[in-house]
Chain A
Amino acid sequence: MSQVPVTVLTGYLGAGKTTLLNRILTEQHGKRFAVIVNEFGEIGIDNDLIVDTDEEIFEMNNGCICCTVRGDLIRILGGLMKRKDKFDAILIETTGLADPSPVVQTFFVDDDVKEKTKLDSVTTVVDAKNVLARLKDTNEAAEQIAFADQIILNKTDLVSADELAKIERRIRELNPLAPIHRTERCAIDLDKVLGRHAFDLSRILDLDPDFLSADAHDHEHNSDIASVSLTASKPLDGDKVTAWLRNLLAQKGQSILRSKGILDIKNREERMAFQAVHMVMEGDFQRRWKDDEKRVSRIVFIGRGLDEPELRHGFAACVA
């Protein structure tokens, strides 16, 4: 049975999530969506289904201290899967102040949810006019950007080109991987928002080492969320790097929000890909390295208070 793709929409209050949802739901696309919202706002309904819910965040007693899930989502997704009419996609809107981790972790922790649905992306709507101020006076705005697989930078008409460039630089510091789509009133092609396969290991975006090394380290801001990018041109010891990642995420997973990597393992012709949300990691050997492909291992960590020298040192010790 095919899994229904799920897109999680985050974004600070007033960023434009509801506008985006309305666009998605009212566009002529012939698709059928289920939308899970927290505040039953002015959302247009046609043949789609809207489910109103209260976020219920549960701790899992599975020895993973930061492992929280959305109990309400487990129930609702289970209920939706009982329906005769299947959905082409499910959209989950989180509240403006929400930390995205529980909703994302739900898709990796619950077996029933994993069997029937598949997280497609965390899409964060950012309000160009107010984002810099929100990054200064809240933690959630930075977390939502850091968690994103793609960012819809909205209300770009309300700021100058210089301001826009500055905002994008700031977003890049928090999240060097997520593509940024500039929009006005959330006008964007549906195809750009949905079907990202951001959590599909076989399609983990090809982390570009040149782009990553150009990553500016500009610490003038008071948010402590940042990213660290690591590369190694020599093959890694598979056991060592797996053990290192496991330990690192077990110990520091609370402060490491997202990590992704493509690894060149000694004596293996296939690339190893992994991704993690806090402590919940999945990884596997994927396709073979192509003949014309540079065999380089690349990892990106996005988190709070990351110790870059320690990460660099730990990674370097994994070289075979």
Chain B
Amino acid sequence: MSEPRLRDGRSWRFDAPVVACVFDGDGSTAFALGDGTLRIIAPDASEPRTVEAHNGAVLALAFHPEGGFISGGDDGRLVHTRETGDTNELAREKGRWIENVTASVETGLIAYTAGKSAVILHGNESTTFQHTSTAAGVAFDPKGRRLAVAHYDGSSLWWAKAADQQPKLLKWKGSHLGVTWSPDGRFLVTTMQENALHGWRLEDAADMRMSGYPAKVKSFVWDRRGRMLFTSGSSRVIGWPFSGRGGPMGREPLELGPERDALVQMVAAHPEADIIAAGTSDGAVWLETIGDPGAEFVLLDAGKISTLVFSPGGANLAIGTEDGFAAVAPVAQR
């Protein structure tokens, strides 16, 4: 195996796959690993702090609205870890895996999935929403008041705080895995078991099918203006326009980045510039400005990229791989 070549920045080699990475508001970075630990890197520290958060693998990671990180694991636990390394169990699902975690900055709500349930935590209380098949993905709407759950044959929309409700069901045949709301709240988009995305315009539940990918789409991200949805699943980054009323219907997707033999696995969007980052199946990470072709390579030969995320101000890019390589690379101003 060739050695990873990182252009600039700090890097670490862990002995378990990196599952996810999240920056919290204070500039700390957490890498979640397949050995159940979080490795937390303070802004100016060179060595990570290791926190034994789970007995098994970490499966999901998000920031905590009050600071620190929330992780879900195959031990059925949802854990809040602070930058100091203190941990606090938020929930426990016996015999089940917690595979998705998300939180809303707007309302401070936290949501996770375990089997067919999606659970919202507010303070010490929780509300559980049941589905007829596995809750494969969850996302809060931009205001943090509604939760979308992706499952078999569609998605369900739940009001975060209403008791005794029926969900609004958005139907489309097939297995829906990941889910995201457009930042203006007008569209909901899912990744599917097939090599396609599915979208709904929420005002009238009109269907939008986005297909043509050579591989399953595992990662998607909205650009900072919320007009384009950039995705993995092809040798280049594919971007779907969502600016008009019809979203991507009848419009050509944008293709970004170099044409290479490897597939794009993960995508990330710079929060303050028109820059998209992509991580590939052969361990490369590149940056490209939207509308200005010419990729800048940040990393090569690191193994399949499993997580990729910009820091809140966009000054850094965190990278993790299936081989256990992790890095925080500075992003030059353009």
Query: Chain B's nearest CB lies how many Å from the CB of A228?
Result: 33
> Is there contact, CB below 8 Å, between A79 and B97?
yes
Q: Which of A40, A84, A111 contacts B57 (CB 8 A)?
A: A84
Tell me the chain B residues, 20-70 only, with Cβ under 8 Å from chain A: 33-36, 56-59
> Is there contact, CB below 8 Å, between B133 and A56?
yes
Q: Write out the residue numbers on chain A whose beta carbons fall within 8 Å of the beta carbon of B152.
A: 56, 58, 71
Tell me the chain B residues, 112-144 only, with Cβ under 8 Å from chain A: 115-116, 133-134, 136
Q: Which of A74, A82, A83 contacts B193 (CB 8 A)?
A: A74
Tell me the chain B residues, 128-177 only, with Cβ under 8 Å from chain A: 133-134, 136, 152, 173-175
Residue of A nearest to B37 (CB): A84
Q: Write out the residue numbers on chain B whose beta carbons fall within 8 Å of the beta carbon of A71.
A: 133-134, 136, 152, 175, 193
Q: Which of A69, A79, A110 contacts B99 (CB 8 A)?
A: A79
Q: Write out the residue numbers on chain A whose beta carbons fall within 8 Å of the beta carbon of B17.
A: 81-84
Residue A61 at the chain B interface, CB threshold 8 Å: yes
Residue of A nearest to B115 (CB): A54
Q: Write out the residue numbers on chain B whose beta carbons fall within 8 Å of the beta carbon of A62.
A: 194
Given contacts A79-B57, A79-B74, A83-B56, contact A60 B194 (CB under 8 A): yes
Residue B185 at the chain A interface, CB threshold 8 Å: no
**Interface residue SS majority, chain B:** loop
> Is there contact, CB below 8 Å, between A84 and B133?
no
Q: Write out the residue numbers on chain B whose beta carbons fall within 8 Å of the beta carbon of A284.
A: none
In the bound assembly, the distance between CA atoms of A59 and B173 in angstroms comes to: 9
Chain A-chain B contacts (Cβ-Cβ < 8 Å), number: 65
In the bound assembly, the distance between CA atoms of A110 and B194 in angstroms comes to: 9
> Is there contact, CB below 8 Å, between A58 and B175?
yes
Q: B-facing mask of A85-114, CB < 8 A → 1, else 0? A: 000000000000000000000000011100
Given contacts A56-B152, A75-B99, contact A82 B57 (CB under 8 A): yes
Query: Chain B's nearest CB lies how many Å from the CB of A89?
Result: 18
> Is there contact, CB below 8 Å, between B134 and A83?
no
Tell me the chain A residues, 263-289 only, with Cβ under 8 Å from chain B: none
Besides A60-B194, A61-B174, 8 other A-B contacts (C-beta < 8 A): A58-B193, A61-B194, A71-B152, A79-B59, A82-B17, A83-B17, A83-B56, A110-B216
B residues with CB within 8 A of A: 15-17, 19, 33-36, 56-59, 74, 95, 97, 99, 115-116, 133-134, 136, 152, 173-175, 193-194, 215-216
